[in-house]
Amino acid sequence: MKKFAIVDIETTGSYSASPGITEIAIVIHDGEKVVDTFETLLDPGGSVLPFVTKLTGITNEMLLDAPKFEEVAKRIWEMTEDAVFVAHSVNFDFSYIHNAFKTLGADFRRKKLCTVRLSRKMFPGYPSYSLGNICTNLGINFGNRHRAMGDAIATTKLFEKCLAADTGDVIMQSLKKNSMEAMLPPNLPVEVFRSLPEETGVYYFHDTKGKIMYVGKAINIKKRIYSHFTAKGSKLSFHTAIGNITWQLCGTELIALLLESDEIKRIYPLYNQAQKHDRGNHILTEYTDQRGIRHIHLAKNHPTLKPAIAFRSFDAARSFMFRMIEEFELCPKYCGMQTSPGACFDYQVKKCKGVCASEEKVEQYNRRVNNALKSIRKESETKLIIGRGRSISEKSVVLIENGNYKGFGFFDDKQNVTTIEHARTIIQPFRHTGDVQRILNGAYETG
């Protein structure tokens, strides 16, 4: 006969990187009835946030004399030993307890069952499977909501209903090692994960209402998404919110990178931090002053600036600029590398071949600036990047025209796309941004 440890915890917040547990309740169930219980407040080693106190009623004062986790760890370990760990959104509770034991040098491992996933299977069709809503819909009465024992008792009653409704051996199938049920977010159907392709593309995490909450790219979509769910220190509130996953195949990693960058800026997903804004970091740009002298300078990227090239770091940008100054005999002052008044230092030591000494050299100097800029754009001025398609009978094309990314598209591998005009009829147009420039720079560097 199986032993089930039905667990609920209250915490100081939503992360499991540190113990942070303020209360724990355990109900031991033998598959037919409750055989043991345990509950206690815990000293979390930190303050309870005001919104948590408002939700649970647990105050910092209540925890002053509460035991620390290590004082009750032996009891928790023994009660859950050889038991299936059951909870509503099981990965949340389990991760906190696992990390609390980890701080003691112990590796807490238990088989897991999630009552969110079970109730979705046993009682399909409800709009919400939060503990409060599903219990109300199933006629389960309970009190002391948002306290550990109150929620543990409610979860126990829900689990008993799942046991009674399990005519197809669903629970035992969920406990098999290869079922992946315990690893997946509670609101994500296992069929969605199983249908994921092991190919290159962009993937989208949707919340339970269908809204896109995260965009990512991967060489192997299924493998990358699996790593999201198994990575240590991952955000549990993010996992709990996932209700569906969609994707677009891209054929090549370059197209996946370009599409991901554009989609993040277009959709502005809640959980994407990088690339929401065009973060070209440092770019090289140019302008002509009132005297007709062309200036090249480094700047923070901005939508009003047109980058000649973008850099991953300021150090990389400075190194590039100094190499260009030396190669094309440019003036450090008019390249923004010297800001002191008067002529540049190179002129003072009689090395400057720029326009510090005489404006009669402006035309000659501007030609060297033009040659420098041409050299930057030489590799990417006009380019068709042909690569793999989304299937064996397809190829892809990325169009770079006059140094600007125009977009990508797919075509039948029996065709031969060799002209800019033909590529224009195939591609889906996209914006050229600082992030795109950095992606393309990386593509050229790696061949």
DSSP 3-state assignment of 183? coil
CA proximity to 324, closest of 289, 370, 361: 370
Cα separation, 338 vs 87, in Å, equals 64
Please say whether the beta carbons of 249 and 259 come within 8 A: no
The amino acid occupying position 312 is R
Q: Tokens 């197809």 map to which residue?
A: 168
Residues in the chain: 447
- Give the number of C-alpha atoms closer than 13 A to the C-alpha of residue 191, restricted to the C-beta side: 1
Residue 257, token pair as written in the block: 């990178």
Burial of 159 (0-12, 13-18, 19+ CB in 10 A): buried
Please, are residues 87 and 115 in contact by the beta-carbon 8 Å criterion?
yes
Q: H-type helices in 57-147, by residue range?
A: 69-80, 90-102, 115-122, 131-137
Which candidate, 135, 111, 115, places its Cα nearest to that of 186? 115
CA distances from 349 to 319, 343, 352 (A): 22, 10, 8
Type and span of the H or E element at 267: helix 253-267
Q: Which two tokens stand for residue 226?
A: 């699996």
> Please, what's the b/e burial string for 208-234 (b: 16 or more CB within 10 A of its CB; e: otherwise)?
beeebbbbbbbeebbebbbebbeeeee
User: Which residues are part of the catalytic machinery?
Assistant: 146
Q: What does the block give as tokens for 146?
A: 């948002």
Give residue 338's Cα distance to chain centre.
Answer: 40
Distance CA 383, CA 401 (A): 6
**CA-based radius of gyration for the chain:** 30
Judge contact between 202 and 248, C-beta under 8 A.
Answer: yes
Q: What is the largest CA-CA distance in the chain?
A: 97
